[in-house]
């Protein structure tokens, strides 16, 4: 049972919804069925490695190559 993020095409409200099968999704604010699934990236705790000196390719704390 996945949770998806949606945005309403009528009022712009952003919301999450637990989806069961092929159910029709409606905006909880205006009840419109004009909703689109947002692209979302799920988070994983502990997967980012941060160093105090920036990154492994330089000694700067912030540079364009550290992103």
* Residue range 27-63, pLDDT digits in tens: 999 999 999 999 866 655 555 555 445 555 565 556 6
> What is 10-26 written as a DSSP string?
TT--EEEEE--TTPPP-
pLDDT-based confidence at 12, cuts 50/70/90?
very high
pLDDT at 10 over 60: yes
CA–CA gap between residue 41 and residue 6 (Å, rounded) = 13
The domain spans of the chain are 1-40
Domain 1-40 class, CATH top level: mainly beta
């Amino acid at each position: 049972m996945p949770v998806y993020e949606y945005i309403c095409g009528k009022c712009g409200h952003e919301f999450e919804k637990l989806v069961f099968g092929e159910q029709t999704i409606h905006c909880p604010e205006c009840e419109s069925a004009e909703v689109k699934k947002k692209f979302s990236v799920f988070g994983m705790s502990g997967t980012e490695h941060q160093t105090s000196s920036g990154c492994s390719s330089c000694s700067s704390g912030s540079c364009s190559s550290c992103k």
